[in-house]
Structure 1
Amino acid sequence: MSRSPHIEGVAALTICEALLLALNDHGVLPEDEILGVLRDAAAAHEQPPTKNDPELHKAVADLIRAIIAGGNSVRRP
């Protein structure tokens, strides 16, 4: 069976999103803290510890910022 090389990344993103939603639903983390986690993750890619693959890091940061701006993919109106 042939798989796209990006399946693991899409699966990881979906699982993380579901976990963040569950943490909010159960009162473990408020929404502002979840947004802080996402902002921290984006910032980590804006200032990566190495100069390896800067286009990848910029794309990751841009994607995280788009997720913040667009809300979650599960509960959009």
Structure 2
Amino acid sequence: MSTASEHAGQAALSICEALRLAMNDRGLLPEHEIVGVLRDAAATHENALGTDLELENHLAVAELINTIIAGGNSVRRS
């Protein structure tokens, strides 16, 4: 069963994806800068400190971001 927190996370991810696509479509950010933002976000989580559970969560977030980068879903392809 999904929790309110999981729903909030999914909503945030969808909103961010839509914003990234819009920024690229409008020429506000080129693809390499969008990927750079994603890499910075992943690195922040990869280098985070905390308890074992917090570190596990941070690494899961970093893995998800890196999967988005590897999948090429950070910008709309023509």
- TM-score normalised over the length of structure 1: 0.85
Identity score, percent: 64
Question: In structure 2, how many angstroms separate the alpha carbons of the residues matched to 1:40 and 1:74?
Answer: 16
Give the structure with the larger helix fraction.
Answer: 2
Match status 1:4 vs 2:5: no
Please tell me the residue identity of whatever aligns with 1:35. Answer: V
Runs (4+) of structure 1 moved beyond 6 Å? none
Match of 2:33 in 1: 33
Query: Which deviations, in whole Å up to 9, do the C-alpha atoms of 1:19-66 show, x marking residues without a partner?
Result: 000000000000000000000000000001x32311000000000000
Of structures 1 and 2, the one scoring higher in RCO (CA 8 A, sep 6+) is 2
Long gaps (5+) in structure 2: none
Long gaps (5+) in structure 1: none
Match of 2:17 in 1: 17
Question: In structure 2, how many angstroms separate the alpha carbons of the residues matched to 1:73 and 1:31?
Answer: 8
Instruction: Indicate if the aligned counterparts of 2:21 and 2:75 stay in contact, CA closer than 8 A.
Output: no
Instruction: State the number of aligned residues.
Output: 73
> Cα RMSD (Å) of the superposition?
2.0
Pair 1:16–1:28, CA change in 2 (3 A):
same
